[in-house]
Amino acid sequence: MVNTTALFLSITNYLQKSTKIFRFSPLIYPKFLDKIKERIWNKPVQKEINDFAIDLFSHFGGHFMPKATLYEIAKLSGVSISTVSRVLNGDTKKPASKATAARVMQAAYDTGYLTPEFRGTEHKALLCLLSNRAYDYSDYFYSEILRGIEAEASAHGFHISQQLSDIGIDDAVLNDHFVDGYDGLILLGRVSFEKVEYLKSLTSNIVYAGLNRVDSGFDEVICDAYEAIQSTVDYLVDCGHTRIGFIGVIPTEGGKELVNEHRFAGFSGALARRDIALDMRYCKNVELKSEFAFEAAMELVKENSLPDALVCATDNVALGVISAFRKCGVRVPEDVSVVGHDGIDISGFFEPKLTTVYMQKSELGKFAVKLLVDRITGGHTIPVLIKLPHRLEVRDSALDRRLLRQGGVLSIFNCSAKRKV
């Protein structure tokens, strides 16, 4: 009798050193068995080795071994990685020839990338990729979008997987595995030109959902932050503010690292349109988190560079600013008016209650799925842009300074209540 413990150790030792050959595929099994036999020299027990190896293979095959990569499939089928991706994703915009598709699919089965039971099945899954590791899906803004995504995906019979990535290319996420089994991609967050091009090389079934246009040749559903910021500046100017600052992401001049960050451009453009000078002393470039905004507001106080109004890129930024001002004795809105963007629920519980631009976050997610499913099922092929409306919610954190000039009672004046844009 063969020593099964020694046999198992010999087999697993081989597998650890040569996992590339062990795939969940009947075509690979003979090579697997031959290699095991080469490692065990006891010729009289070949049948037991064979039986044991079959049991091991059938029990563990495809469960604990690494899958093949798109690179290996491409090499075996003699095509590019992008061609493999298009075939596996059923790309109808730029389809491969039938012969090429057949080679790719056969290579996918031969390497174990696709299992035999996958044949003839319809995989209905979408990947939701949040492209900024500074955030996650617990962030209120993105969690609301995700709620809409999951509700609409479920209604269409699709499963949603969530993933995080960096703004640029992130090999840990954007590798050749992430398209496995996914019919389409929902992109959230800020992205670089490099990442956009990489994603487009993987699949044409992409939709972006967010606040800033990507304008890169795929579908988009947005609440336009550029226009929202402009409406905020118009509101503040109409209320008599002339020294207006900005706290949020300020892209480098001429930089192309972010293709969808237009809030500061909207801010500076609106000031120019209203003949108000842009004063960078009142502007701070920060990541969109409360703690960074808090520090930025503290710097404004220390530098004695307080504007009479601050436009905050998000409500979380506004929360950090108000907290810093309260600590330093700066009154909101009497000394500085503060306006946020996003319209998160807790903004109505700030002290003072935050004037903000309300964005339809859940609807962003729902319309993103509707648009993506329509593309997947062949409903449209050209890029589609959907803009959802937003509205200005005027509350207690912004002051109409015209009342002060007229000697009126100091109070909050609603110059354009719930203005829909």
- Output the pLDDT for position 41: 46
- Output the pLDDT for position 138: 66
- Global pTM reads 0.67
Q: What residues contact 282, with CB distance under 8 A and at least 6 apart?
A: 243, 244, 245, 246, 300, 305, 306, 307, 310
Q: Which residue has the higher pLDDT, 405 or 261?
A: 261
Q: What residues contact 230, with CB distance under 8 A and at least 6 apart?
A: 266, 267, 269, 270, 273
| pLDDT per residue as tens digits for the range 279-330 | 999 999 998 889 999 999 999 999 998 999 999 999 999 999 999 999 999 9
| pLDDT per residue as tens digits for the range 31-58 | 445 555 554 444 445 555 555 554 554 4
Alpha-carbon torsion angle 257, 262, 266, 268, nearest 10: -20
Per cent of the chain over pLDDT 70 is 68
Q: Is 371 left (phi over 0), alpha (psi -120 to 50) or beta?
A: alpha
Q: Is 304 left (phi over 0), alpha (psi -120 to 50) or beta?
A: left
Q: Check if the beta carbon of residue 144 is closer than 8 Å to that of residue 360.
A: no
Residues in a beta bridge with 220: 208, 385
Measure the CA–CA gap between 326 and 139, rounded to whole angstroms: 24
Measure the CA–CA gap between 324 and 320, rounded to whole angstroms: 6
The mean predicted confidence, pLDDT, of the chain is 77
Does the pLDDT value for residue 140 go beyond 70?
yes
| pLDDT per residue as tens digits for the range 11-33 | 555 444 444 333 333 334 444 45
Measure the CA–CA gap between 132 and 163, rounded to whole angstroms: 10
Measure the CA–CA gap between 141 and 213, rounded to whole angstroms: 17
| pLDDT per residue as tens digits for the range 236-277 | 999 999 999 999 999 876 555 567 688 999 999 999 999 999
What would the two tokens of residue 332 be? 């909101």
* Strand pairing report for 355-358 and 206-210: unpaired
Measure the CA–CA gap between 295 and 298, rounded to whole angstroms: 5
Q: Check if the beta carbon of residue 239 is closer than 8 Å to that of residue 274.
A: no
- Output the pLDDT for position 113: 67
Query: What is the average per-residue pLDDT within 94-123?
Result: 70
Q: Which residue has the higher pLDDT, 218 or 16?
A: 218
Q: Which residue has the higher pLDDT, 114 or 352?
A: 352
